[in-house]
Structure 1
Amino acid sequence: MNYIPVSQLGERPLISILSTIFHELPDGVISGAGADDCAVIDINESSYLVVTTDMLHRMTDFPKQMSPWQIGWMSAAVNLSDIAAMGARPTGLLAAIGLPRDTDVSFVEEIARGMRDCTREYDTAVIGGDIDTHDELTICGTALGTVSKGELLTRKGARVGDKVCVTGYAGSAGVALYALENGIDVPDSVLKALLQPMPRIREAMELASLGHVTSMMDTSDGIAMSLYDLSKASGVGFRLQEKALPLQPEVEELVSFDRVTLNSMSLYTGGDFELIFTVRPEGIEEVLNLGNISMIGEVLPQERSISIQKSDGTVLQVERKGYEQLKIADNT
């Protein structure tokens, strides 16, 4: 057997391999490993239970400027964002925390308060977990949520002619991380996108209730990578409009960045935890009226691939890149 390091293979190909091993689903499980942001379990005549898990590490996931409270908030937020991507209401969060032996107790208390405050913001709570010793701080969260069967949203369902939308702003977290790493001053409002992301639970539930959304996921790994995931699940292509990408006003005002760089960051950097979704054309006006939502493109046949029309009219291929956990090279 040939030796292939996981860093060479990458996160998504490895998930595909593991999903073939874990392909068997017990009775009542509607969607399992690798298919979506959450597993989906049939619990009664009217509702599904959705379950997700996410692991974060001190060295790779938490910027050194992040406070312990923010570490806790982030650890809850990443899991709640996956619950949002299914249109579900969070039920609770379990957290397993691996700690170096010399960790100060007050540091752990602040992490716990950050988790508590994030879950409280979304009308849920930390309901259990585990602690253990570990070489570096490692937090694994498992979130649960419920959604009515008629409102479940998944990555599969986009159709040619649908409109592509996103909540909030694109690229703010990526700009904030770049600024921190390069000593560039940015406003606190930009840093907050990175250090205290806000899962779009309420927006997702509103969107699900309207009945116009055909597919959805979050943008934690970047808009471009998310579009490739949606493309694979739904069997479609996409055409984006560069001028429609929503940039935070404070980001646009940063003189340290030119427009080309900002547009690239809006596509290829992760960490925003916004929602990207497709909408039936007849429902787009009602969706946009919810506020905090931008229409950035449309769904095309799969053979048209994924592209973006620039302000001067030229059309370029959107690269398949973004944040991938296991990759050493080409991460943005």
Structure 2
Amino acid sequence: MNKYIPVSQLGERPLISLLSDIFHELPDATLLGAGADDCAVIDINENSYLVVTTDMLHRMTDFPTQMNPWQIGWMSAAVNLSDIAAMGAQPMGVLAAFGLPRDTDVAFVEEMARGMRDCARECNTAVIGGDIDTHDELTICGTALGTVPKGQLLKRKGAQVGDKLCVTGYAGSAGAALYALENNIEAPNSILKALFEPMPRIKEGMKLASIGHVTSMMDTSDGIAMSLYDLSKASGVGFKLQEEKLPLQPEAEELMSYDRVTLNSMALYTGGDFELIFTVRPQGIEEVLKMGNISVIGEVMPHEKSISIQKSDGTVLQVERKGYEPLKIADNK
């Protein structure tokens, strides 16, 4: 008899690995399947791949109580479209299945749907179908589809020693917003928007894929540290970060001015920013930086060097393997 192990003890990534072993059989046209990357990848014609992803969100664990229904809808689309961006793909549509408590106000559902629609519009796509059912807790399962030219597909695997490590946007803004909400601290709208209305980096992902210098990529929805461990496993490399290079939003720095150590920790370990983290060949870094809104935060190292960060005082510390893990939310509270 198998020993009883609760999923909260095992954790999300080990459970994904376990299930991926069961789902390892793939149709001939499928290039990447369960657990391999941000999206499954299907060969649809001689020029393009279809990428497909799905995410499930719940009222209690994924939506802060301060979020309005429009923002809940926006977030539900954004989490899926961010995975499409991480593959360098162009979105082709979003499917949404709603599990609704029986007493849910119809006006709430309408506004939630508008938020999902507006996020999809912002990414030049649309909600094209889905399903509705009753559920004890508001549950939204989204599926996004996209296409990418075969020569431009970006995966977690591909980073090489000597590549530069880069990230779009800011790090830790969503974490700072969540910290402010949990501690009743007044935060500016720009910080709250980072948490409530994250912007999928579709345009940036497609551009990075098209210029040909990016060797690996994924999004930072579970935090920079967790993303680096995923990239390390896929590519067989290590990373060295520079703490002073982490791009912090000025409003977040002002909000957390009394505790910079916590803010730096948020930049590494708190999820919810939905930025892209990627590696670039050294000869292509200048062209990448011309895009704007991109920071070089470190470099790719041999795998045996693991993942480290150099502090402003010169000390080098190990980056912990931690971040947002849905199955362990209850244990972390």
TM-score of the two chains, using structure 1 as the length reference = 0.99
Is the aligned partner of 1:219 residue 2:235?
no
Give the aligned partner of residue 86 of structure 1.
87
Instruction: Return the alpha-carbon distance in structure 1 between the equivalents of residues 248 and 45 of structure 2.
Output: 42
Preserved CA contact (<8 Å) 1:321 1:331: no
Give the aligned partner of residue 126 of structure 1.
127
Give the aligned partner of residue 189 of structure 1.
190
Percent identity, please: 84
| Secondary structure class of the residue paired with 1:30 | strand
Q: What is the deviation of 1:328?
A: 4.2
Q: What is the deviation of 1:170?
A: 0.1
Give the aligned partner of residue 54 of structure 1.
55
Superimposed CA distance per residue, residues 183-234 of structure 1 (whole angstroms, 9 cap, x where no aligned partner): 0111000000000000000001111010000000000000000000000000
| Secondary structure class of the residue paired with 2:328 | coil
Distance 1:248 1:330, change over 3 A: farther
Letter paired with 1:104: D
Instruction: Return the alpha-carbon distance in structure 2 between the equivalents of residues 329 and 150 of structure 1.
Output: 42
Superimposed CA distance per residue, residues 15-37 of structure 1 (whole angstroms, 9 cap, x where no aligned partner): 00000000000110000000000
Give the aligned partner of residue 328 of structure 2.
327
Preserved CA contact (<8 Å) 1:324 1:331: no
Give the aligned partner of residue 144 of structure 2.
143
The alignment of Structure 1 onto Structure 2 pairs a total of residues equal to 332
| Secondary structure class of the residue paired with 1:327 | helix
Is the aligned partner of 1:243 residue 2:248?
no
| Secondary structure class of the residue paired with 1:132 | strand
Q: What is the deviation of 1:300?
A: 0.2
Instruction: Return the alpha-carbon distance in structure 2 between the equivalents of residues 257 and 35 of structure 1.
Output: 41
Alpha-carbon RMSD: 1.0
Give the aligned partner of residue 159 of structure 1.
160
Instruction: Return the alpha-carbon distance in structure 1 between the equivalents of residues 42 and 319 of structure 2.
Output: 34
Instruction: Return the alpha-carbon distance in structure 2 between the equivalents of residues 330 and 134 of structure 1.
Output: 23
Is the aligned partner of 1:19 residue 2:23?
no
Distance 1:127 1:312, change over 3 A: same
Q: What is the deviation of 1:178?
A: 1.0
Is the aligned partner of 1:315 residue 2:312?
no
Preserved CA contact (<8 Å) 1:87 1:153: yes
Q: What is the deviation of 1:130?
A: 0.1
Q: Which moved more, 1:247-256 or 1:99-108?
A: 247-256
Give the aligned partner of residue 108 of structure 1.
109
Give the aligned partner of residue 40 of structure 1.
41
Preserved CA contact (<8 Å) 1:308 1:317: yes
Instruction: Return the alpha-carbon distance in structure 2 between the equivalents of residues 328 and 74 of structure 1.
Output: 18
Preserved CA contact (<8 Å) 1:322 1:331: no
Instruction: Return the alpha-carbon distance in structure 2 between the equivalents of residues 284 and 330 of structure 1.
Output: 41
Letter paired with 1:33: A
Instruction: Return the alpha-carbon distance in structure 1 between the equivalents of residues 196 and 275 of structure 2.
Output: 14
Give the aligned partner of residue 306 of structure 1.
307
| Secondary structure class of the residue paired with 1:326 | helix
Give the aligned partner of residue 72 of structure 1.
73
Is the aligned partner of 1:233 residue 2:224?
no
Instruction: Return the alpha-carbon distance in structure 1 between the equivalents of residues 330 and 139 of structure 2.
Output: 23
Structure 1: gaps of 5 or more residues: none
Instruction: Return the alpha-carbon distance in structure 2 between the equivalents of residues 104 and 130 of structure 1.
Output: 17
Distance 1:299 1:52, change over 3 A: same
Instruction: Return the alpha-carbon distance in structure 2 between the equivalents of residues 249 and 209 of structure 1.
Output: 31
| Secondary structure class of the residue paired with 2:255 | coil
Instruction: Return the alpha-carbon distance in structure 2 between the equivalents of residues 20 and 228 of structure 1.
Output: 20
Q: What is the deviation of 1:259?
A: 1.2
Preserved CA contact (<8 Å) 1:213 1:279: yes
Preserved CA contact (<8 Å) 2:94 2:145: yes
Preserved CA contact (<8 Å) 2:165 2:298: yes
Instruction: Return the alpha-carbon distance in structure 1 between the equivalents of residues 295 and 332 of structure 2.
Output: 26
Letter paired with 1:216: M
Q: What is the deviation of 1:103?
A: 0.3
Preserved CA contact (<8 Å) 2:245 2:297: yes
Q: What is the deviation of 1:254?
A: 1.6
Letter paired with 1:166: V
Instruction: Return the alpha-carbon distance in structure 2 between the equivalents of residues 123 and 329 of structure 1.
Output: 36
Structure 2: gaps of 5 or more residues: none
| Secondary structure class of the residue paired with 2:27 | coil
Instruction: Return the alpha-carbon distance in structure 2 between the equivalents of residues 77 and 254 of structure 1.
Output: 25
Preserved CA contact (<8 Å) 2:61 2:329: no
Q: What is the deviation of 1:253?
A: 1.1
Distance 1:146 1:331, change over 3 A: farther
Give the aligned partner of residue 174 of structure 1.
175
Is the aligned partner of 1:291 residue 2:292?
yes
| Secondary structure class of the residue paired with 1:253 | helix
Give the aligned partner of residue 266 of structure 1.
267
Q: List, as ranges, runs of 4+ consecutive aligned residues in structure 1 with deviation greater than 3 Å.
A: 328-332
